[in-house]
A = this chain, B = another copy of it.
């Protein structure tokens, strides 16, 4: 007996839209940006709520934040009912390691009756945005997420993108989804309370995209290196905008949910991830990316891909911005850890290693193998270079 039933070919497209706004004093009643957003984000007939979740580090520097937000909403956005509590979560990578924290956020969604047509407003650095974004994405199969990134790194890179994640048994970003926000609000004034390391750290992602895609942007960074190192806000505003623009363009123009293999934005990241892990995240993400960029640039110069003059300019910019280009953990255990890092990165990508190297400033090129001995020589070079710069 055999019945032949025709194959059903399912096919559809899902469209995503969101704005990345740039502003100052977001919750000042005189600033109508958030009010205007909610007024035009109309969906009739729903009783909308919002749950605000704030990074503890940021909340500590802004003790009036929660009451400022409540005042703003009661005056300017009365159609949205804020949950009775503002949730504070510890910031930094540690928050992504704790399954109890994730569960407490899902529980808050339940307790406060936040449904698919309500909002979660996440205010914080990249790690908190990752954690909250994941909880929002999987609760009720997706609650509308508004991101308010409070670090340079989150404003110019992760916070304007489409990913979220938590760690699983120490494996970074093992659990997560692709889930675009409904809006991102980048407030320049929120960066004032950053310490110098986090101010600087966010520059690394801008240097990354400039190096692989935009010579003019790298030259702009070169010519504003003192302003950026000196915490000039106008320079930072431009850098964040340009970097966020390139990041969102990359997502929209390519493979937004990474069904394929190519991940060129991960330039400088394979060693960075490993270094963060080896230092128990004492080296912060941007700092690690700066070292990762330096390492891969030295490597590219050593194999003759990148001109020496370009290498010098790159290391010079990184150094002038105050980045360390070397960490002792890079050389530990005869560089065996770095080799493991490469292997983990290969697995994360799906069996085939794809690493972005530079062939000149502004132009990246993908390779599928790295030579372990030349990596080791590149580490040695950076160790020596550090002595010169120190």
Q: Which of A267-321 contact B (CB under 8 A)?
A: none
Check B141 against A261 for contact (C-beta < 8 Å): no
Which interface class (under 10, 10 to 19, 20 to 34, 35 or more) fits A? Answer: 35 or more
- Contact at A141–B12, with CB atoms within 8 Å? no
Given the known A-B contacts A14-B256, A117-B261, A256-B14, are A46 and B168 also in contact in the complex, defined by CB atoms under 8 Å? no
Please choose the segment from A61-69, A173-181, A372-380 that sits at the chain B interface, where 4 or more of its residues have CB less than 8 A away.
Answer: A173-181
A15-B13, A351-B115 given; A174·B110 CB < 8 A: yes
Contacts of A160 in B (CB 8 A): 8, 10
A20 and B48 contacting across the interface, CB-CB below 8 Å: no
Q: What is the bound-complex CA distance between A244 and B11, given in angstroms?
A: 14
**CA of A107 to CA of B168, assembled, Å:** 9
B-side contacts of A251, CB under 8 Å: 10, 12
Q: B165 contacts A141, CB within 8 Å? A: yes
B residues in contact with A245, CB < 8 Å:
8
Contact segment of A218-226, A233-241, A327-335: A233-241
The interface residues of chain B lying within 8 Å CB-to-CB of A106 are: 168, 174-175
A178 CB, nearest partner CB in chain B, Å: 6
Whether A252 pairs with B352 at a CB distance below 8 angstroms is no
Contacts of A368 in B (CB 8 A): 45
| A11→B16 contact, CB < 8 A | yes
B244-A8 in contact (CB<8A) = yes
9-residue interface stretch from A120-128, A132-140, A204-212, A357-365: A132-140
User: Which residues of A line the B interface, CB within 8 A?
Assistant: 1-22, 24, 43, 45-48, 106-107, 110, 113, 115-118, 134, 137-142, 160, 163, 165, 168-169, 171, 173-178, 180, 188, 233-234, 237-238, 240-241, 244-245, 248, 251-252, 256-258, 260-261, 347-352, 368
CB<8 Å pairs between A and B, sample of 14: A5-B240, A5-B241, A10-B18, A10-B180, A13-B15, A14-B256, A46-B351, A106-B168, A117-B261, A117-B351, A118-B350, A140-B348, A141-B173, A142-B178
